[in-house]
């Protein structure tokens, strides 16, 4: 896919590190589907990022297929977008090595996600976990992306990406486009169990997140159990983290504003509100789940997408990589 129409380019991805949650969906994938007509988009399954935390190989392999199936089931068109797997395009890790040499130890040490993940994986604080943001910078800069649609948790990594790109450009002249983050209203969906924390697919407590593949009963049960407060008035306010989070989720699924939600639940208790959030979530996910099941039965189709799209991605990636190799002084053959 050559950028013939002068469309702006987008890059984003999801790690196959667990079952995708409504956080991944509302913060990232749902927004991607609205961008595919107006932008030239690359959507990656970032399997190399996933191994910064120990994975069971068979699970990683299965989830890689699943994420591609979820992308398509959510409405991403593999003919319109370049949808591929990171490890199928070696230029990501090749550029990453170069960029590691232009990323400072101090910068990586300040990354909140590194601090967070290393405290959760204290027995495996590996170098990959530390340099993860440089691989992410390579993912983005390799394609000269203009915009990166992500959740709020990734903002710091995009800022680092911009700093790395600017540093490289200042040494070698214009090489990388400086990308902008693209962050929307579902940008931070919080845990249902601890609503001050981000909802995460690798949370050991399955009641903390709603997986895109949970069935209706599970979804309703999880929302019913969601931690709220004792105030019993549905409105957004400081300290009402649980209700604020449910209002964001409800708003993302229904398109309703806070005022509309407050009016709808005036005089009703949290029980009614939680049930409504559960229902709209389950109803919105049902068609995605149905399409997902159908796609997962057709592995050959998914593999064909992996192959065709990784070739398109590799073609674009090679251009940036050879420019970088030339600039840093590697001999070209």
List active site positions.
Answer: 117, 198, 201
Give the nearest distance from C-beta 59 to ligand AQP in angstroms: 12
Nearer to ligand AQP, 6 or 56 (CB): 56
Count residues near ligand AQP (CB under 6 A).
22
Residue 134 contacts ligand AQP per CB under 6 A: no
Shortest distance in whole angstroms from residue 152 CB to ligand AQP: 6
Nearer to ligand AQP by C-beta: 160 or 324?
A: 160
Ranges within 18-47 binding ligand AQP (CB under 6 A): 18, 21, 23-24, 27-28
Q: Which of 133, 151, 195, 242 binds ligand AQP (CB under 6 A)?
A: 151
Residue 305, interface with ligand AQP (CB under 6 A)? Answer: no
Closer to ligand AQP by CB, 8 or 188: give it: 188
Report the residue number, 12 or 144, with the smaller CB distance to ligand AQP: 12
CB of 109 to ligand AQP, least distance (A): 18
Cβ distance 129 to 21 under 8 Å? no
**Shortest Cβ distance from residue 263 to ligand AQP (Å)?**
26
Q: Which stretch binds ligand AQP (CB under 6 A): 145-153, 165-173, 222-230, 271-279?
A: 145-153
CB contact at 8 A, 141 and 176? yes
Q: Which residue is nearest to ligand AQP (CB)?
A: 27
- Across-strand partners of 84? 44
Residue with tokens 């395009």, as numbered in its chain: 89
Cβ neighbours, 10 Å, residue 118: 15
Question: In angstroms, what is the minimal distance from the CB of 30 to ligand AQP?
Answer: 10
Binding of ligand AQP by 175 (CB under 6 A) = no
Binding mask 184-223 for ligand AQP (x = CB under 6 A): --xxxx--------xxxxx---------------------
Give the whole-angstrom CA distance, residue 165 versus residue 99. Answer: 9
Residue of the chain from 144, 154, 161, 244 that contacts ligand AQP (CB under 6 A):
154
Among 107, 153, 229, 258, binds ligand AQP (CB under 6 A): 153
Q: SS3 for the chain, per residue?
A: CCCCCCCCEEEEEECCCCCCEHHHHHHHHHHHHHHCCCCEEEEEECHHHHCCCCCCHHHHHHHHHHHHHHHHHCCCCCCCCEEEEHHHCCHHHHHHHHHHCCCCHHHHHCCHHHHHHHHHCCCCCCHHHHHHHHHHHHHHHCCCCCEEECCHHHHHHHHHHHHHHHHHHHHHCCCCCCCEEECCHHHCCECCCCCCCECCCCCCCHHHCCECCCCHHHHHHHHHHCCCCCCCCCCCCCCCHHHHHHHHHHHHHHCCCHHHHHHHCCCCCHHHHHHHHHHHHHHHHHHHHHHHHHHHCCHHHHHHHHHHHHHHHHHHHHHHHHHHHHHHCCCCC
Q: How far is the CB of 306 from ligand AQP (least distance, A)?
A: 18
The residue ranges that bind ligand AQP (CB under 6 A) are: 14-15, 17-18, 21, 23-24, 27-28, 150-151, 153-154, 186-189, 198-202
């Amino acid at each position: 896919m050559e950028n013939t129409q002068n469309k702006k380019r987008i890059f984003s991805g999801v790690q196959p590190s667990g079952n995708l949650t409504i956080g991944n969906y509302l913060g990232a994938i749902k927004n991607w589907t609205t961008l595919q007509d107006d932008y030239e988009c690359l959507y990656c399954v970032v399997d190399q990022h996933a191994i910064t935390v120990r994975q069971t190989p068979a699970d990683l392999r299965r989830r890689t297929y699943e994420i591609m199936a979820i992308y398509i089931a959510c409405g991403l068109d593999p003919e319109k977008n370049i949808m591929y797997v990171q490890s199928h395009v070696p230029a990501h890790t090749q550029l990453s090595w170069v960029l590691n040499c232009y990323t400072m130890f101090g910068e990586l040490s300040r990354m909140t996600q590194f601090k967070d993940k290393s405290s959760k994986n204290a027995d495996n604080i590996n170098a990959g976990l530390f340099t993860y943001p440089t691989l992410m910078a390579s993912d983005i800069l390799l394609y000269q992306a203009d915009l990166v649609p992500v959740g709020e948790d990734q903002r710091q990594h995009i800022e680092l990406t911009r700093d790395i790109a600017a540093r490289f450009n200042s040494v070698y002249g214009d090489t990388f486009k400086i990308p902008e983050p693209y962050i929307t209203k579902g940008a931070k969906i919080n845990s249902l169990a601890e609503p001050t924390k981000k909802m995460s697919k690798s949370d050991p407590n399955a009641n903390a997140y709603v997986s895109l593949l949970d069935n209706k009963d599970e979804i309703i049960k999880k929302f019913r159990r969601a931690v709220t407060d004792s105030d019993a008035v549905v409105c957004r306010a400081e300290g009402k983290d649980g209700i604020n989070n449910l209002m964001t989720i409800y708003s993302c699924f229904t398109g309703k504003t806070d005022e509309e939600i407050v009016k709808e639940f005036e005089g009703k208790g949290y029980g009614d509100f939680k049930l409504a959030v559960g229902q709209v979530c389950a109803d919105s996910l049902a068609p995605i789940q149905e399409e997902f099941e159908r796609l997962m039965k057709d592995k050959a189709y998914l593999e064909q997408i992996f192959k065709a799209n990784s070739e398109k991605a590799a073609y674009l990636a090679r251009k940036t990589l050879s420019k970088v190799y030339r600039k840093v002084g590697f001999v070209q053959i």
